[in-house]
Amino acid sequence: MGDVQLAWRRLVDWLETNAPATASSVLAPAAPAAVTAAEERMGVVFPVELRTWLLASGADNGPVGVTEGVVPGNNRDLLGLAAMERTYHFRMEIERDDPSPDPEFPFWHEQWIPIISDDDSCYGKFLDVRGGQIGSFGDGDEPSFGVHESLTALFSETLVLMEQISAGAQGATGRVQGGRLIWD
Taking the complete model, does pTM exceed 0.85, yes or no?
A: yes
CB atoms under 10 Å from CB of 101, counted, come to: 8
Write out the residue range of the structural domain in which residue 61 sits. Answer: 3-183
Exposure of 167 by Cβ count < 10 A (0-12 exposed, 13-18 middle, 19+ buried)? exposed
Domain CATH for 16? 3.40.1580.10
How many domains does the chain divide into? 1
Higher-pLDDT residue of 64 and 171 is 171
**How far does Cα 84 stand from its chain's mean position?**
9
C-alpha 154/C-alpha 158 separation (Å) is: 6
- Assign 64 a pLDDT band (cuts: 50, 70, 90): low
Sign of CA dihedral 7, 13, 16, 18: negative
What digits encode the pLDDT tens for the residues 88-135?
Answer: 999 999 999 988 888 777 889 999 999 999 988 889 999 999 999 999
Instruction: State residue 142's pLDDT score.
Output: 80
Average pLDDT estimate for 21-33: 94
